Structure 1
């Protein structure tokens, strides 16, 4: 292990998560080099070894957010072959983790920023397109799939906003309540699916 002045030598991969944490805690304006350096137990000199300026760190934090909270989720869900089960997994995951991704809420609030705007737009479009694809696999025509995906994503954004800004206001801490909530949402979205959902009259299929 490389050591500098008795400490582990930091890499860009150490700075990006710390920057994302700062965004989650205080918004984009909270991403400042000196406080993050103090959090990491290092100096500004370490920062400038890896990044040209603060904007470069913002970009690194945005790239990490996109990979961690969008691409990793989509990759994991893509392994489920049943589209209805995949949709249930998606809603369960995003509903159960509401309030745990404050960075996403704060980045959406900063969507007008020149560095944030293209990333947030790309992430939102990627998520919506993924959800549209699931509804199409279930058998809905494209126009209907788009509307259902938009409705589902709008509900997701509102859910995250409430859970982040008003912790505890959503009574979904209990696992049974969360499962019932997800089932009720999916029943609304899939009640007129081309095939009967759930197929056996019970819960919508869970992951295999």
Structure 2
């Protein structure tokens, strides 16, 4: 039975707009982050947008800030290790990145990085996150006894591997792919 009451629209706050923009960025790239398109996708009016944001650039800044804060939180969580467990934590980082095939997360990461290719503000945020990421693993490698220079090289190798393999479709490459990935991880982390 149909109700005579008109459907009420849900109120969206700034946080919901940002979350919707990030989802749209992942699905459609920057082209989908037009105010009118976002409002339609979220089922609200453009007026709702301007209640929460000064302009489109204000939304872009908020999206980048939210992405950066989320990445830094994850990096801190993934790179925290108790004394003597730094090598195990490095292996865990590789394992988390190389086994978690979170397509939405990968889509967001790729969309932000694509945005950073064309926009100075996005580029600066991505560079800040990557530098933070590399520095956290560098510290773990140093705690494992590597020189600072080797720790920097291994940090770069670690992330080149985990991001590179996350973009590949290799499931049918060989039935022993798990063994290959473990071998690679051990070579990145091992002292010799």
**What TM bracket, shorter-length normalisation?**
0.7 to 0.9
Whether the 8 Å CA contact 1:105–1:161 is kept in 2: the answer is no
How far off its partner does 1:94 sit?
1.4
The aligned residue for residue 118 of structure 1 is 124
Alpha-carbon deviations, 1:138-184, whole Å to 9, x = none?
1101010011111111223322333xxxxxx2219xxx955x35421
2:93 counterpart of 1:94: no
**Alpha-carbon shift at residue 86 of structure 1 (Å):** 1.1
5+ residue gaps, structure 1: 163-168, 194-208
1:154 aligned counterpart, secondary structure: helix
Give the alignment partner of residue 113 of structure 2, picking from 95, 108, 121: 108
| Aligned CA distance change for structure 1 residues 24 and 134 (closer, same or farther; 3 Å) | same
Question: Which of the residues 148, 160, 168 maps onto 1:142?
Answer: 148
TM-score, normalised relative to structure 2: 0.83
Q: Which segments of structure 1 move beyond 4 Å, counting only runs of 4 or more? A: none
Mind listing any 5+ residue stretches in structure 2 that lack a counterpart?
1-6
The equivalences for 1:1-208 within 5 A come to: 6-68=8-70, 70-81=71-82, 82-98=85-101, 99-101=103-105, 102-112=107-117, 113-162=119-168, 169-171=169-171, 178=178, 180-192=179-191
Preserved contact between residue 29 and residue 111 of structure 2 (Cα < 8 Å): yes
Choose between structure 1 and 2: higher helix proportion.
2
Displacement after TM superposition at 1:6 (Å): 2.4
What SS class does the counterpart of residue 116 from structure 2 fall into?
Answer: coil
Indicate conservation of the 8 Å contact 2:91/2:189, yes or no.
Answer: no
Looking at structure 2, the residues matched to 63 and 160 of structure 1 have their Cα atoms a distance apart, in angstroms, of 24
